[in-house]
Structure 1
Amino acid sequence: MSEPGALAKTTRINLLFDFYEPLLTDKQRTFLKYYFHDDYSLGEIAAEFEVSRQAVYEHIKRAETVLESCESKLGLLAKHELLQSWLTKLDQAVVSLPREHSAVPELEAVARGLRKALEQE
């Protein structure tokens, strides 16, 4: 994957994969892992599984479609990114307060709780 935007696409697919992996078939899961996580080429995956490059390509494309479809219906990645954004804003607000401000410990505790909740998604 060397075209412009490939890194952004890889990052998005990997994030979607984290949320929706159980909804993929075993082959889709395996081929996506090899292609996007491990950076195998279509030819390398085809050789490893003794199938055609076209078969690998079709499984990957179908998996991408499933992931995007799930995201459009459920929006888990979008919600996660929104929560991350608000957490960043909260962190910035806490840093801008004087350390002796009475709200700082409580806001830091809220930020820790949000981080923990996001890690458990």
Structure 2
Amino acid sequence: MEDMVMDDKLKEKVELSILFDFYGELLKSHNKHVFEDYILNDLSLSEIAEDQGISRQGVFDIVKRCSRQLKDYEEKLCLVKKFEETKEKVNRIKEISEQMMESKNHNCLEEIIMISDKILKDL
């Protein structure tokens, strides 16, 4: 049970770090710095509070607010989702290309063209 809680916390941190990569520049400078220390630099709330000269609760509130903002940005803009979908399509193109190289079968070109068209259409 404890492992599942740790896995959920780790997944949440990974998700927030990805969202931060995409949308971090949209956060207020001070909030961005606090959030970055907590998520990316893995500092504790107390360490950040001491460094920033604010309360531990203040750091907690900033982290919660930033987390919500980043999730809201993704909900509205879907940049991470689009990136992941494009990445999957490119991986599929790579797989097909490797199969073609091995088998010297060029029938897969239609699928490559179709996937490429989808990627270009989505951009």
* Seq. identity, %: 26
Matched, 1:17 2:2: no
Deviation sequence 1:15-74 (CA, Å, 0-9, x none): 111111121111220011101111001011011111111000000110011100010000
User: Conserved in 1, the CA contact under 8 Å of 2:23 and 2:70?
Assistant: yes
Flag the structure with larger Rg: 2
Aligned to 2:36: 33
Other structure's SS at 1:3 match: helix
Kindly tell me the number of residue pairs found equivalent between the two proteins: 108
User: Conserved in 2, the CA contact under 8 Å of 1:42 and 1:57?
Assistant: yes
User: Conserved in 1, the CA contact under 8 Å of 2:22 and 2:80?
Assistant: yes
One-letter amino acid of the counterpart of residue 31, structure 1: V
Matched, 1:96 2:99: yes
Matched, 1:42 2:35: no
User: Conserved in 1, the CA contact under 8 Å of 2:34 and 2:59?
Assistant: yes
Other structure's SS at 2:7 match: coil
C-alpha displacement of 1:97: 1.2
Matched, 1:5 2:8: yes
In the alignment, the residues of structure 1 paired with residue 89 and residue 12 of structure 2 have an alpha-carbon distance, to the nearest angstrom, of 24
In the alignment, the residues of structure 2 paired with residue 103 and residue 29 of structure 1 have an alpha-carbon distance, to the nearest angstrom, of 50
1:75-114 mapped onto 2 (5 Å cutoff): 75-99=78-102, 100=104
Q: Which runs of 5+ in 1 are unaligned?
A: 115-121
C-alpha displacement of 1:102: 6.0
TM-score (norm 2): 0.76
